Amino acid sequence: MIEHLGIEFLEVHPEYFTARMPVDHRTKQPFGLLHGGASVVLAETMGSIATMLVAKDPETMKAVGVEINANHLKAVREGWVIGTCSPIRIGRTMHVYDIKIHNEQGDLVCVSRLTVAILSA
């Protein structure tokens, strides 16, 4: 899915993680706008990877999204969207993330909250 949608990882910091995704034929809905589902894929991908980055033993653990919500705030027709994933809570078996997606002009496009369960692999 990551390759198919053209998601690229940009920065990894202790407080946040960033990635971007093109708005093109792979990520648009029939009316030529960024598909809301593509934004949700970006958000869940970022939260799952953020979980694995802080996992104590990534070889024996896996991240599984258990709940995600998204508010789509502004349409995007072309270019790139950039996601910033920040932890709200990092627990032993559950992580919660805030993911904000902006367009290239810095306008907020989508706000998402993701809950990830940490399971034994």
Average pLDDT, the chain: 95
Q: For 4-39, what is each residue's pLDDT tens digit?
A: 999 999 999 889 999 999 999 999 999 999 999 999
Residues near 25 by Cβ (< 8 Å), separated by ≥ 6? none
How does residue 75 score in pLDDT terms, banded at 50, 70 and 90?
Answer: very high
94-103 and 8-12: which strand pairing? unpaired
Rounded alpha-carbon distances, angstroms, from residue 51 to 66, 74, 97, 119:
13, 28, 9, 11
Please state the pTM of the whole predicted model. 0.94
User: Considering only CA atoms, which of 38, 10, 45 is closest in space to residue 24?
Assistant: 38
Question: Cα–Cα distance between 40 and 69 in angstroms, integer?
Answer: 8
Question: What does the pLDDT look like over 31-64, one tens digit per residue?
Answer: 999 999 999 999 999 999 999 988 878 788 899 9
Q: Which of 8, 44, 78, 104 is catalytic?
A: 44
Is 44 catalytic? The answer is yes
The full set of domains in the chain, from first to last, is: 2-120 (3.10.129.10)
Residues above pLDDT 70, as percent of the chain: 100
Q: Are the beta carbons of 85 and 110 closer than 8 angstroms? A: no
Residue 59 and residue 121 in contact, taking contact as beta carbons nearer than 8 Å: yes
